[in-house]
Structure 1
Amino acid sequence: MRDVLKATVPAVALMTALAACGQSGDGASGEAAGAGSSTAPGTATTEPADATATPESTTTTGGSQSGGGNTGSDCATDDLAVTIAAQGDSATAPTAMVVVTNNGEKDCTVHGWLTFTLVNAANEAVEVPTEKVEEPGPAVDVKIIAGGSAFAGIKWTTCDKGDSSCGAGNTIRWDLGTSADGPAAELEGFPAAEKSNITMKSLKVGTLQPSRQGVVAW
């Protein structure tokens, strides 16, 4: 019986030692695997890629906002077309509605008044005493959407072309500033250009407004 016990004890001790060695080996393998995972090349590459993606997205958004948005900056002459439509017979009712149309691709803003210049058949500016008036209301900044219009009214006193103080012409130029060399307006309801029968002893120019309501009722 004692011989059986003596044989069994070493066998149990050997099995226990082998089990302990197996556990130690597995732990070392796990640690090695964990260390390999934390320094894997794929992970290091992914983090900088994500960091780079964020600025790219921000830059694209900013570019879209600054490049594609309608900011309502000042209108350029080349983006506008001006029509001056006489209200009734201009010889007897010297009042006209001014329509300023934005033919550009973006919204833009006009300020206060336009400048108008009577021009004769020789393409020369005709001197006409002009007053800018706050009619039908105070001067304001008017934002004109692309394809939209702003409005104003003008009134003048007619005169006899034989009078030396009478200005006579066949077209009217306009300008966003104060220049007399702006483009010609399209005239509706005025005498034919060849007659040079647009006569002005004086001219009053009303303020630009976002609506045509009341712009000639002053």
Structure 2
Amino acid sequence: MRWSRGAAAAATVAALALGAVACNDETPAAPAPAGSAASPAPSGAGGPGAGGGPSATGGAARPTASAQAGGRCRTAELTADIQIQPDHLSSAMVLLTNSGTRTCTVQGYLGYDGLQADNSPLRLATNRVAHPGAPVAVTLKPGTSAFSGLKWASCDKSSPTCHSVATVVVTPPDETTQLTARVLGTDGKPLTEEMLAVSAAGFTVGSLQPSNQGVVFP
């Protein structure tokens, strides 16, 4: 009988111990001490530039691609060369070159006007064509070029509808100011006295491209 009472007592103690453990499991964790902070997320969790702050290594955040590019190219940062083609004397390849000190971007079409021999303005019609394809954004590092095609119908300079263009003036995409283009002959040298004879139809203009492949009009 004494053994039975002792066993019962031991069983009761074990049950109480188990109940205490269960209660401890359900007890919520104590709050963190005042002034403690949550662990930071990994530096790459939000993608480059997501937070705009310093990186996990303590250095400055890396700039985004648009910040590195520096925005669109301005007229004062560009030069334009019109290279007349040997097999197509009324067709040219245009090189728009970044002559500045920063990387910038161009996209779209060049605008064209002209000057007569006395420097009076000459309005020329332009027809934009997605040749050799639709315009693409071209990022220009200093000294590099974007390319496009240009063609026109020649005419008799004595004709009243023929435009004798002494100087070609170019407007870069999204700009409102112009630059004077150099017109290069088939030998690659600037034309100094010869004028372009452009019909009333004016210029046909191709889109700016990152490569010169295919930009020249046939």
Task: Give yes or no for TM over 0.5.
Answer: yes
SS at match of 2:193: helix
Task: Tell me the equivalent position of 1:210.
Answer: 210
* Residue identity opposite 2:72 in structure 1: D
Structure with greater Cα Rg: 1
Q: TM-score, normalised by structure 2?
A: 0.63
- Structure with more helix by fraction: 1
Matches within 5 A, 1:133-148: 133-148=129-144
* Residue identity opposite 1:78 in structure 2: A
**Residues 83-110 of structure 1: per-residue CA shift (max 9 Å, x gap):** 1110027xx6201110111122222111
Structure 1 stretches of 4+ with a deviation exceeding 3 A read 57-66, 177-181, 190-195
CA–CA separation in structure 1 for the residues paired with 2:165 and 2:122: 7
Task: Tell me the equivalent position of 2:20.
Answer: none
**Pairwise CA distance, 1:181:** 5.8
- C-alpha distance 156-169 of structure 1, shift in aligned 2 (>3 A): same
Task: Tell me the equivalent position of 1:156.
Answer: 152
- C-alpha distance 79-178 of structure 1, shift in aligned 2 (>3 A): closer
Q: Is the 8 A contact 2:149 2:216 kept in 1?
A: yes
CA–CA separation in structure 1 for the residues paired with 2:212 and 2:156: 31
* Residue identity opposite 1:163 in structure 2: S
Task: Tell me the equivalent position of 1:52.
Answer: none
**Residues 101-147 of structure 1: per-residue CA shift (max 9 Å, x gap):** 11222221111101111211121221222101111111222111222
**Structure 1 unaligned runs (5+)?**
1-56
Provide the aligned length of Structure 1 versus Structure 2. 157
Of residues 115, 120, 143, the one that matches 1:119 is 115
| CA RMSD across the alignment | 2.8
Task: Tell me the equivalent position of 2:29.
Answer: none
CA–CA separation in structure 1 for the residues paired with 2:59 and 2:120: 51
